Amino acid sequence: MCGIIGTIGYPDAADALLQGLRRLEYRGYDSAGIALQKDAGFAVRRAVGKLNALAGVMHESPLHGTTGIGHTRWATHGEVNLANAHPMMSGDRVAVVHNGIIENHRILRDTLTAKGYQFQSQTDTEVLAHLFADALDHAPSLMAATEVVIAQIEGAYAFAVMAADYPDQLAIARQASPLAIGLSDDAMFVGSDAIAMGDVTQRVMFLKDGDYGVLSRQDVAIKDAKGQIANRDVTIVAANPGLVTKEGYHHFMEKEIHEQPDTVMHTLGAFTDADGAFALPQEVNFADMTGLAYLAAGTSYIAGLIGRYWMEELADLPVVTEIASEFRYRHPSYRQISLAMGISQSGESLDTLMALRYMADKGVDTAALVNVETSTMAREASGYLLTRAGPEIGVASTKSYMAQLTVLLVLATVAGHQRGILSDKRRLEIEQMLARVPRLIGEAMAATSAIKQIVPRLAQARSCLYLGRGTLYPVAMEGALKLKELSYIHAEAYASGEMKHGPIALIEDGLPVVALLTDDEHLLKSISNVLEAKARGADVIIIATESAAQKARDEIGGLNGNIITVPDCDALIAPMVLSLPIQCLAYMTAVHKGTDVDQPRNLAKSVTVE
């Protein structure tokens, strides 16, 4: 997946495109490029690597013009190199930026090659450029050429195309990948999301799947999937907060970890009435529900796993939490599912979006728990709930995960009360408990001094195990995921009780085993599992609440400095509090290793391809 941007008529198009790409860098950062209309063709600048590399190229060799397109790439087809960086050209006739995957690109490539088109890249996108050139030979207009092209392509796409024959127009289309048009008095914009155009306009038109059309400086002509003229509403989006800065922190991730107390407070504020009682912004009837599905990817999936424990414990409502990319293809039984909720920071992850659409097609109610109000999921689902994490820039999710947990615990509590499982008193206790979380996670940050001692050793490891039980099992999964993605150390999480069914065979002298403990009904069993690992030579690292840590010291012994503690808290909220040290452990290990914490290799903030 990638980010695309375009403009017609903006006085300094190169600057607007570069600023737009900065806001889109969350969608990929393997390479970037910009093409501007120039004389009878185009001027193009491209660079491999993060956007700063392109900014450097443009500084050396500036572009001037009012019409252009830009792209930031996350490689799908073809390695990361200059030849595969967009915009893709067909000679000096067509320039294309594309997000998505053209699934039948091989067949099209063969056909176009047979016609004499020469391919310069390994990308699927280049077929689009040549298809346009080919269509323009015969089509009477850019709109007609677009129709010819989209009739031939299969897959997911959002694209913007400049044709030298039509210097005052941009062709655009979307299918499964998002695309929005930005309108201003004397220029027109197109971008993968509204945020990309936030510097230049707040008037945005969101396209629907199958939409395509042609933009000119003052006009938008859109047709729907059936080829009928479509009128899409213009929405006024919230003023853009401006480019987010690190505010003195070394990395966005460090800043976002520190913002978590505020994130929980803001999110909770939006789900609490004047008396401090949990209240949902929209009425949800949990009482009649027979089942819930939480569908998500990555860290949002892990939040959904924790949400499942909460919903089943507090509301006796069965939940399936499933990886969205699996769910939609396995023909799941959905009859008992009353509501399918997509959990997604961005609201754009394609698999989650598709899983929601799958459920909507089956007639199941859908909802989205998102951090971006203008996102596709928020717009498409029957209802949405908003986390208040603010813009999250670090690719590895931290504060939006914490905000998701906040809402998921609120939902479970409200559901439990509605369904008569939770008394008024218990509901009040949970409300008070959650209100303490911002303070507790603030205090949990003090654990960093203990983490510092452990980091140099962990950074040497080639592999690492994380263990947890109950809600701490998904937290262990999040710990392993964070360590993998940030510091490139192989890490796996296991439910502690599952250790002896296989993974224990991995334990050899010095293998780091990170065990998560809280003072819950599992504590003694979990400690036994740690003892089993230690007896076999594991380098045990305990992350625990104070009292659980004390018990671990008593029972295990010989742990020396290998204990990271957080304040005592009720076991219900322990997954939130214990998430802090596992984030910090991964962050500090990555910093120690010198990896790119905010933009780890091969990843993207929002995955909009399958």
- In the complex, which residues of this chain contact ligand G6P (CB under 6 A)? 297-300, 344-346, 349, 352, 395-397, 603, 605-607
Among 223, 255, 482, 605, the active-site one is: 605
Which residues, 6+ apart, have CB-to-CB distance to 329 below 8 Å? Answer: none
* Cβ proximity to ligand G6P, 161 vs 403, nearer residue: 403
Active site residue 226: no
**Shortest distance in whole angstroms from residue 417 CB to ligand G6P:** 28
Beta bridge partners of 341: 294, 367
* Cβ proximity to ligand G6P, 67 vs 346, nearer residue: 346
Single-letter code of the amino acid located at 473: Y
Query: CA-to-CA distance for 163 and 30, rounded, in angstroms?
Result: 26
Angle at which helix 260-270 crosses helix 424-444, to 10 degrees, equals 160
Which residues, 6+ apart, have CB-to-CB distance to 188 below 8 Å? Answer: 7, 8, 9, 170, 181, 182, 215, 216, 217, 218, 219, 220
**Shortest distance in whole angstroms from residue 596 CB to ligand G6P:** 13
Comparing CA positions, the residue from 537, 540, 417 lying closest to residue 467 is 540
Read off φ and ψ for residue 164, nearest 5 degrees.
Answer: -60, -30
* Cβ proximity to ligand G6P, 6 vs 342, nearer residue: 342
**Shortest distance in whole angstroms from residue 500 CB to ligand G6P:** 31
3-state secondary structure of 445: helix
Residue 491 has which token pair?
Answer: 């890490």
Single-letter code of the amino acid located at 3: G
Q: Is 288 exposed, middle or buried (0-12, 13-18, 19+ CB in 10 A)?
A: exposed
**Shortest distance in whole angstroms from residue 610 CB to ligand G6P:** 13
* Cβ proximity to ligand G6P, 100 vs 298, nearer residue: 298
The position carrying tokens 């956007």 is 51
**Shortest distance in whole angstroms from residue 323 CB to ligand G6P:** 10
Query: CA-to-CA distance for 137 and 36, rounded, in angstroms?
Result: 22
237 DSSP assignment: P
Among 2, 464, 569, 584, the active-site one is: 2
Query: CA-to-CA distance for 50 and 45, rounded, in angstroms?
Result: 14
Active site residue 584: no
**Shortest distance in whole angstroms from residue 593 CB to ligand G6P:** 19
Instruction: Give the Cα-Cα-Cα angle 590, 592, 598 (nearest 5 degrees).
Output: 35
* Cβ proximity to ligand G6P, 121 vs 606, nearer residue: 606
**Shortest distance in whole angstroms from residue 552 CB to ligand G6P:** 30
* Cβ proximity to ligand G6P, 260 vs 300, nearer residue: 300
504 DSSP assignment: G
Which residues, 6+ apart, have CB-to-CB distance to 602 below 8 Å? Answer: none
Comparing every residue's Cβ against ligand G6P, the nearest one is 298
Task: Report the length, in residues, of the chain.
Answer: 610
* Cβ proximity to ligand G6P, 83 vs 603, nearer residue: 603
What residues are annotated to the active site? 2, 605
